[in-house]
Amino acid sequence: MHQFRRCTKLLCVVEKHGLRERKKQRTRQALIEAAVRLFEDKDYDHVTVAEIADAAEVSPRTFFLHFQAKEDVLLANADMRVDLALQAIAERRAGERLPEVLVRAMDEMIANTWDSDLPSGLAALRARLAASVPALQARLLQRYLTAQAELAQALQRAFPDRLDTITASALVGAMVGATSASALTALQRGDGPNEVRNAMRQAMALVAQSVT
Amino acid sequence: MHQFRRCTKLLCVVEKHGLRERKKQRTRQALIEAAVRLFEDKDYDHVTVAEIADAAEVSPRTFFLHFQAKEDVLLANADMRVDLALQAIAERRAGERLPEVLVRAMDEMIANTWDSDLPSGLAALRARLAASVPALQARLLQRYLTAQAELAQALQRAFPDRLDTITASALVGAMVGATSASALTALQRGDGPNEVRNAMRQAMALVAQSVT
DNA sequence: CTGCACTGATTCACAGTATGCATCAATTCA
DNA sequence: TGAATTGATGCATACTGTGAATCAGTGCAG
C-alpha cells in the first residue's frame, strides 16, 4: 500500500530507448521547470498543481503521473544522488577506514548537488523552501530517512566484521542528522552556499571522529 | 504564515482554570481516544477525520480546532517531552560534562514516553504506525527537527564557551538522528520495547563518545 | 444577578491534493 | 498493416484543511 519508490541504478543512467521515453522525459522536465519558475514568483502553497500543469501545457492529472506528490517536483533527482553514495560505499578503496568511506559517500552527494543544482538556482530555491515550507521539509526528511536505511545497509556490507545492524544505522543516522541540522542552521542564519557547505563539513568531521 | 506551534512551559503543567478549560481538554482527550481506538481497528488512512470526530461525538471541524493535522492526534504530548529535555539541559548539574548533559536530556524524554505511553499501548501503536505510514513518519521527523533546534539552542546556552552555533546543532542532530535511526531499525526488525530502548542507548553512547 | 465579553463548538462553503477508471492517441512491435 | 503497449487526458470522487458566520455556555464586571 504505502511505498517509497526508488529509481534503480539503471534508470538513473539517462536512457533514450525510443521516442516514447524521450517524450516522457520532456514533459517531466517541462513540469519541473514550470514549477521552479512559479515557485520563484509566488509563495509555495499559493502555486497550485493545476497552475504548474497549465504552465507546462499538460493536464493536472499528468502531473501526478510523474510525481507522487506536489513536493516531489523539487526533489526530482534526489534518488540519483543516493545511488552515487551507495556506489561510493560499495567501491571502498583499499585501506580506507570506516569514517573516511562514509564521509566520501556524503561528499559525493553534496558535490553532485553543488555541480548540478547550484548553477541553476534550484539548490538555493530548494534550500529556501525546505526551511520555510513544512510540507516540503517533511517530505525531504522522509527521503533522508529512506536513504539512511540504504546507506546503513551498504555500510554494513562494506564492513561486515566491524558493524552490527544497529551500529550501522546509528552511525549513518548521526552523520545525516548532524549534516542536515547544521546545514539548516546555517541556512536560517542567512549563510551563503559556501558557508553552508563548510558547516556541513564541520558536522561530518565531528561525527567522523566518533568512530576513529 | 507557516508556523510550528509549541506549547509554552506553563501550558504544559496541567491547568484546570475553570470549567471551560476542562471541557476543552475533555473533548481533546475524547478525540485522541477515539482516534487510537479506530487506528487499532482499521488501517491508518482508511480512518477519516470525519470518523474520528464522529466517534468522539464532535463535528469534524472541531478536530482541526484541536490538532493542526490528522497526524498530530498521535503526537499529542510530544511538546511536553521536549520541554522536559530543555529543562534537563538548563538545570545542568555541577561538574556535568557536555555529553552527559545531552544524554540525560534525551533519557528524560525517552523515560517519560516509556512511563506514560507504554502502558496505554499508545507507544506501541505510534511506533508501528510511524514505521509504516509515510505521512505520520514525516510529521514525526518534522517535529524532531524543530525540537532539535530548541535543544541545540539550550545546549549552546549551557556551554557558551565550548560550542558555536553550528557545532551545537551538529551535535544535537547527530544525537537525535542516531537515536531515531537505530530505534526505527530495531522496530522494523521486530524488536520489542526493551530491545528498542537498548538500541537507542547504544546509539546515544556512540555519539556521546565523539565529544569526549 | 444580570448583561456583556470571551471562546469552544457547530454549520456551511470551498480550495486544493490525490486517486480510480475509462478512453484516446501515439509509439512500438509482431 | 494490425495489435499491443503506454503516455496523456477527462471525469468523478474522497479526503484534508481553512475561512467565515453563528450559536451557546462560561466567566467576569458592575
Burial readout A177-198 (b: 16 or more C-beta within 10 A, e: otherwise): bbbbbbbbbbbeeebeeeebbe
Helices (H), B97-164: 98-117, 122-132, 134-158
Q: How far apart are CA B63 and CA B16, in angstroms?
A: 21
Residue ranges of chain A whose pLDDT lies below 70 = 1-16
Element (H, E) at B185: helix B165-188
Which pLDDT belongs to residue B17?
65
Alpha helices, H only, chain A:
9-12, 18-41, 49-55, 60-66, 78-90, 98-117, 122-130, 134-158, 165-188, 193-208
**DSSP letters of B62-104?**
HHHHH-SSGGGGGSTTHHHHHHHHHHHHHTPPTT--HHHHHHH
Residues A140, A146, A152: CA angle, nearest 5 degrees: 130
In the predicted model, what is the mean pLDDT of residues B15-23? 72
Q: Which residue of B has its CA nearest to A43?
A: B1
Quickly state the pLDDT bin for B76 (edges 50, 70, 90): confident
**Residue A100 cell numbers, joined:** 573516511
A170 and B189 in contact by Cβ < 8 A?
no
Minimal CA separation from A199 to chain B, in Å: 6
Q: Residue A147: its pLDDT value, please?
A: 96
Please judge whether B173 and A181 are an interchain contact, meaning their C-beta atoms are less than 8 angstroms apart.
yes
Q: Determine the Cα–Cα distance for residues A135 and A69; give it in Å rounded to an integer.
A: 10
Cβ distance A138 to B133 less than 8 Å, yes or no, reads no
Quote the cell numbers at residue B112. 517519560
* Residues (28-87, chain B) with CB within 7 Å of strand D atoms: 45, 47-50, 61, 64, 68-71
Please, which pLDDT band fits residue B120 given cuts at 50, 70 and 90?
confident
Cβ within 8 Å, pair A166-B202:
yes
**What residues in B contact A209, CB-CB < 8 Å?**
210
Share of chain B above pLDDT 90, in %: 76
Compute φ and ψ for B111, nearest 5 degrees: -60, -40
Residue with cell 565529544: B211
B contacts of A133 (beta carbons < 8 Å): 2
What chain A holds in terms of domains, given with CATH numbers, is 6-67 (1.10.10.60), 73-210 (1.10.357)
Q: Decide: B31 and B53 in contact? Cβ < 8 Å.
A: yes
Q: Do B142 and A139 touch (CB under 8 A)?
A: no
Which residues of chain A have a CB within 8 Å of the CB of B173? 177-182, 203
Statement: the CB of B18 is under 7 Å from strand D: yes
Cβ contacts below 8 Å, chain A against chain B, sum to 154
Q: What angle do CA A14, A15, A18 make, to 5 degrees?
A: 145
Q: Which nucleotides of D are covered by protein (CB under 7 A)?
A: 6-12, 14-20, 26-28
pLDDT tens column, A46-98:
999 999 999 999 999 999 999 999 999 999 889 899 999 999 999 998 889 99
- Nearest to A110, CA basis, from A183, A159, A40: A183
Record: contact B145-A169, CB cut-off 8 A: no
Q: What is the mean pLDDT of residues B39-58?
A: 95
Nearest to B138 among A142, A148, A202 (CB): A142
Q: Maximum distance among all alpha carbons in chain B? A: 54
CA-to-C1' span, A65 to D4 (A)? 21
pLDDT of amino acid A16: 57
Confidence of residue B9 (pLDDT cuts 50, 70, 90): very low
pTM for the model: 0.89
Q: Is the pLDDT of residue B8 over 50?
A: no
The closest of B126, B183, B55 to B203, measured between CA atoms, is B183
The CA–CA distances, whole Å, from A82 to A41, A89, A97, A143, B81 equal 30, 11, 20, 10, 33
**If we measure between CA atoms, which residue out of B183, B184, B185 comes closest to residue B200?**
B183
Q: What is the mean pLDDT of residues B40-62?
A: 95
Footprint of strand C on the protein (CB under 7 A): A 18-21, 23, 45-50, 61, 64, 68-71; B 20, 23-24, 27, 57-62, 65-66
